[in-house]
Amino acid sequence: MQKQKASPKTALVFGGSRGIGAAAVERLAQEGFNVAFTFASSTNKATALADAIAANGVGSLAIQADSADPTAIRRAVGEATARFGNLDAVVVNAGILRPGTVDAVSLEDLDQMLNVNVRGVFLSIQASVPHLNDGARIVTIGSNVALHTRTPGFSVYQLTKTAVAGMVKGVALDLASRGITVNNIQPGPTETDMTAGSKEVLAEMNPLKRIGHPSEIAGLIAYLVGADARYVTGASITIDGGFTL
């Protein structure tokens, strides 16, 4: 009797058109997932990424959605599950940085970072939970600044990333009875738009004398959503080349 081929799993990546998010989308597609992902404004990059994945025979769906907008978050989950069915992996990568010392941060920047980096992460997970298969995986993308910043002007950003590290512990307990794992990745300086113009300086500060590549973060995501990580939950895993040692 011929063995029946398993149906593809489904992943949803919040903030998946650029940098770490795009690398995660590409890696999950390589791992055999149908991948839906959100983007805020990079329409051309999102379309090109979705087309490239589809050209390799994997289901893909780009969804324009602002992670600061609860309605948009719920709509994105609805569109992803309408296309591909229930979710096996959710990666919450959306995040913003508005640097400023404590005396200079505007209320607008404070609210925006809290809305995207904390509230948006929580709401993305919350909206996904009813559509998660038992045994599914949730991965948030935090930052090693939750441990150490080294630089003035990052107090709010550090606040938001520390909050995410704490959040995953509670959510992991909430979902443990369903076999759903929840983990947080804390990258150090990585080749993204956020580090453009400062790569050399950041590399010199790092024991390995380089910064990370998005594909390296995506490799850790692939591990956490794979079969070998079923016993890992509630963890924050730092991947920064020793930057915070």
**Tens of pLDDT, residues 61-73:** 999 999 999 999 9
Residue (of 189, 169, 194, 173) closest to 238 by Cα position: 189
Residue (of 9, 12, 10) closest to 39 by Cα position: 12
- The pair of structure tokens assigned to 165 is 């590290």
Q: Which of 157, 175, 187, 202 is catalytic?
A: 157
Task: Please list, in sequence order, all residues whose beta carbon lies within 8 angstroms of the beta carbon of residue 189, skipping any fewer than 6 positions away.
Answer: 195, 198, 199, 202, 203, 206, 211, 212, 240, 243
> 35: which strand partners?
11, 60
The tens digit of pLDDT for each residue in 106-146 reads 999 999 999 999 999 999 999 999 999 999 999 999 999 99
pTM: 0.94
**For tokens 């959510």, what's the residue?**
171
Asked, for residue 28, whether it belongs to a domain, the answer is: yes
Q: Reply yes or no on whether 157 is catalytic.
A: yes
Asked, for residue 163, whether it belongs to a domain, the answer is: yes
The tens digit of pLDDT for each residue in 169-224 reads 999 999 999 999 999 999 999 998 777 778 888 899 899 999 999 999 999 999 99
pLDDT at residue 5, rounded to an integer: 54
Asked, for residue 243, whether it belongs to a domain, the answer is: no
Asked, for residue 1, whether it belongs to a domain, the answer is: no
pLDDT at residue 151, rounded to an integer: 85
Task: Give the orientation angle of helix 214-224 with respect to helix 19-30, to 10 degrees.
Answer: 50
pLDDT at residue 95, rounded to an integer: 87
Residue (of 137, 135, 228, 132) closest to 178 by Cα position: 135
Residue (of 138, 141, 134) closest to 116 by Cα position: 141
Tally of structural domains, the chain: 1
**pLDDT grade, residue 15 (50/70/90)?**
very high
- Other beta carbons within 10 Å of 120: 26
Which residues span the domain enclosing 68?
10-238
pLDDT at residue 106, rounded to an integer: 96
- Other beta carbons within 10 Å of 44: 10
pLDDT at residue 42, rounded to an integer: 81
Asked, for residue 2, whether it belongs to a domain, the answer is: no
Q: CATH no. for residue 169? A: 3.40.50.720
pLDDT at residue 1, rounded to an integer: 46
pLDDT at residue 99, rounded to an integer: 92
Asked, for residue 244, whether it belongs to a domain, the answer is: no
pLDDT at residue 192, rounded to an integer: 81
> How many Cα atoms within 13 Å fall on the side-chain side of residue 38?
28
Residue (of 26, 76, 81, 90) closest to 225 by Cα position: 90
Asked, for residue 216, whether it belongs to a domain, the answer is: yes
Task: Please list, in sequence order, all residues whose beta carbon lies within 8 angstroms of the beta carbon of residue 235, skipping any fewer than 6 positions away.
Answer: 168, 183, 184
pLDDT at residue 143, rounded to an integer: 94
pLDDT at residue 41, rounded to an integer: 85
Asked, for residue 88, whether it belongs to a domain, the answer is: yes
